Structure 1
Amino acid sequence: MLPGRAKVAQHLCRPAIFPKQNTQICRMPITTTTPSSNLLLLPLSKYRLFTTSPPSFATTDQSKTQGPIGNPATAPIPPEQQPEQPEQPPTTEPTPVDQPQTPHRRRSRAIYYSAVFLLAGLSFGTLLRLTLSPPPLPAPGSPEDLYLISKIQARGSHLPLVRALSSDPAWTSWDAYSGLEAAVSTHTQPISVVRSRITSGPLSGSNGLAFQRIFHNSSTGEVVSVVYFGPSTAGWPGIVHGGALATVLDESLGRCAILQFPARTGVTARLELTYRSPTITSDFYVVRTRPIVREGEIDPAKTARKMWVEGTLETEHGRVCVEAKALFVVPKGVKLKPLVEGF
């Protein structure tokens, strides 16, 4: 090849635009003529310049860009010599549980929990306020008090135990202190005497002992009393005072003993109480009393003057709240007025 032709070929096959990249230039055949006598340089025939695209613009397959000369820079790397690629963590599609909640759903749940806690707080606060600071009670003898008494007595008359004992011919029944009220109406006893007694005076009305139905079995000597304890009998809020329970039990046990005494009177010599569970106000309770008959005691005079009586105060369902035991006697040398019928 002539020197001029080499310069032209070198100029046409110069490196591509990106000299630092692994660029491959394909050589195309050059058509020449045989030297003539005039040594003229004939023009080159058809030629084309081929270059590979840079990696920043295209991704090429190293096996396809291998040139005919076998450039080592573009030769494929064996698998054992390839650098290790960092392992990519497996990608999993989010399940419906992992999907974030929508704002509407979060807002609905917040409103729901707010309403629940608000209702719970209001209910607890109202219950605590009514327990520690109950509303004012109606005045004794007022229209509201009389209305509440009628409602309580209607409820007590429809209790299953009251209806069962009322229909049993072995039991006689009456309302407590009905004999005293009859004595007042016939002017045989002043009303001041009735009102001076704690159970028929201060503890009367809808706030106290609004209902007391007495049942007596003359064959066995048992006495059953159904009693309602109103709000004014409370010591601790909502709990019947122990003194009020002792008063009702003392009177019920004494009624059982006095009905056995021929003198129809007597006093308490000894009273024993065992409190088992709290007694809630504004509810009905059952007082069961029975005389204790000791074996070998055959002296009628002694029995007519002294008697032990035992009893319990229970709920309507039979849960024992108080256990009681008392001794009643008819004192000697003291003349006591006998109690009226219907005491």
Structure 2
Amino acid sequence: MAGLLSRSLLRAGTSIAPKQTYSTLRNSTRAQNLSQRIYAQASLKSYPRTFATSPQKQQYRTHTYDSGDGNPPVKIQIQEPPSFFKRSFHFIGRVLGGILIVTFGSVIALVIYEPDMIVATEVVRMAMHPEEGVSDERTLQIEAYIQNHPIVQKFRDDPSLIETRPHLDIPTLLRPNVLTAGVLTGPDRIAVPPLVFADGEGKKLYAILHVGEQLCGHPGVVHGGLLATLMDETLARCCFPALPNKIAMTANLDVNYRAPCKANQFVIIKAETTKVEGRKAWVSGRLESLPAPGADADGRLLVEASVLMIEPKNIGVLMREVPNKDSVSASPRAAVRGA
């Protein structure tokens, strides 16, 4: 009885199921087989790619396939990642764009917030190279006064003296790290590099320069520490050619201030090597105001100083080239090397 009931129910269910159900299942199975076949063909066959303006269009592409059997075409989106060339091109473009943005942004910010920094750098460069042309009128006047002064002409007529500008011998990249050739250089400071006349044997030296209004310790009076620095540097440069390796360090500096040195004036430093013993050299010097053209007397004595210079031990091993006395006498730049 139970078996007959089950078979009757089965027959009833079969007769109730409409024909559309079978057609739907058959179409689903056919569509599934068609999709599998299309994906398999797409994985084996390469299709032409075109550049798109957006990354989303580069990652997906729509392919149309004809399934046959009178059915409508099937459209399928297949993911296609960008090629290595495209990814590299975009990466390089982003890097270059970032660099340009940072560079132009920094320049614009510097011009807006720190315009004096650019101007000051250019002024220092021009002041260090007056022979290349200086736009600052005051600096031009200072340079012309020094070049045309009778004392300068007198030194140039002396065959025993060599004319140099030691600060210009310092490489341009290193000048900002040299006190008297970098920070202290510029308008209203040391406007132009000191003009130096020295013999080739390290016996005497003369330096002429201008001290500006921004070098003061008291209003209108040049700072005593700056004057000591100038004396130390100039006296040391005087004795260098007399030492074995043409270089030395300050061991003792004695400075006596005789009168206030007023700002915005020309000064001359006179140095003389008094004694040399091996690696040691003793030098004395005077800092005076530069006398006016046509004056018979010397300028006013402002500072007196004496210094003991000692050449470091084994310095010759560390130096690539050690010129002899003949080369020092023949080369104007070698005569003042090391300052």
TM-score by length of 2: 0.51
One-letter code aligned to 2:196: I
Query: Partner of 2:286 in structure 1?
Result: 312
Aligned counterparts of 2:230 and 2:318: Cα–Cα separation in 1: 21
Q: CA deviation at 1:207?
A: 2.0
On the 8 A contact 1:208/1:230 being kept in 2, the answer is yes
Query: Partner of 2:138 in structure 1?
Result: 148
Aligned counterparts of 2:180 and 2:157: Cα–Cα separation in 1: 27
Q: CA deviation at 1:251?
A: 0.2
Count of aligned pairs: 190
On the 8 A contact 2:280/2:308 being kept in 1, the answer is yes
Q: List gaps (5 residues or longer) in structure 1.
A: 1-135, 185-190, 294-301
Query: Which secondary structure state, in structure 2, belongs to the residue aligned with residue 177 of structure 1?
Result: helix
One-letter code aligned to 1:323: E
Structure 1 residue aligned with 2:215, among 214, 217, 233? 233
One-letter code aligned to 1:248: L
* 1:197 is aligned to 2:197: no
Q: CA deviation at 1:219?
A: 5.8
On the 8 A contact 1:268/1:326 being kept in 2, the answer is yes
* 1:179 is aligned to 2:179: no
Query: Partner of 2:328 in structure 1?
Result: none
Identity across aligned pairs (percent)? 28
Q: CA deviation at 1:155?
A: 1.1
On the 8 A contact 1:265/1:336 being kept in 2, the answer is no
Q: Hey, which of these two has a bigger chunk of helix by percent?
A: 2
* 1:207 is aligned to 2:188: yes
Structure 1 residue aligned with 2:155, among 142, 151, 165? 165
Structure 2 residue aligned with 1:261, among 243, 248, 254? 243
Pair 1:195–1:220, CA change in 2 (3 A): closer
Query: Which secondary structure state, in structure 2, belongs to the residue aligned with residue 141 of structure 1?
Result: helix
Q: CA deviation at 1:214?
A: 0.3
Query: Which secondary structure state, in structure 1, belongs to the residue aligned with residue 231 of structure 2?
Result: helix
1:52-71 aligned at under 5 Å gives the runs none
Aligned counterparts of 1:147 and 1:195: Cα–Cα separation in 2: 23
Q: CA deviation at 1:149?
A: 2.2
On the 8 A contact 1:240/1:278 being kept in 2, the answer is yes
Structure with bigger gyration radius: 1
Aligned counterparts of 1:266 and 1:323: Cα–Cα separation in 2: 21
Q: CA deviation at 1:336?
A: 5.8
Query: Which secondary structure state, in structure 1, belongs to the residue aligned with residue 222 of structure 2?
Result: coil
Structure 2 residue aligned with 1:325, among 265, 285, 306? 306
Query: Which secondary structure state, in structure 2, belongs to the residue aligned with residue 324 of structure 1?
Result: strand
One-letter code aligned to 1:202: V
Aligned counterparts of 1:270 and 1:179: Cα–Cα separation in 2: 26
Q: CA deviation at 1:140?
A: 5.1
Pair 1:280–1:145, CA change in 2 (3 A): farther
Q: CA RMSD in A?
A: 2.6
Pair 1:256–1:336, CA change in 2 (3 A): farther
Q: CA deviation at 1:259?
A: 2.0
Query: Partner of 2:229 in structure 1?
Result: 247
One-letter code aligned to 1:281: A
Deviates most, 319-328 or 309-318: 309-318
Q: CA deviation at 1:333?
A: 4.7
* 1:283 is aligned to 2:273: no
Aligned counterparts of 1:175 and 1:331: Cα–Cα separation in 2: 25
Q: CA deviation at 1:216?
A: 0.6
Q: CA deviation at 1:228?
A: 0.9
One-letter code aligned to 1:291: T
Q: CA deviation at 1:311?
A: 0.4
Aligned counterparts of 1:274 and 1:161: Cα–Cα separation in 2: 25
Write out the 4+ residue segments of structure 1 that deviate beyond 3 Å after TM superposition: 142-147, 333-343
On the 8 A contact 1:214/1:225 being kept in 2, the answer is yes
Q: Hey, which of these two has a bigger chunk of strand by percent?
A: 2
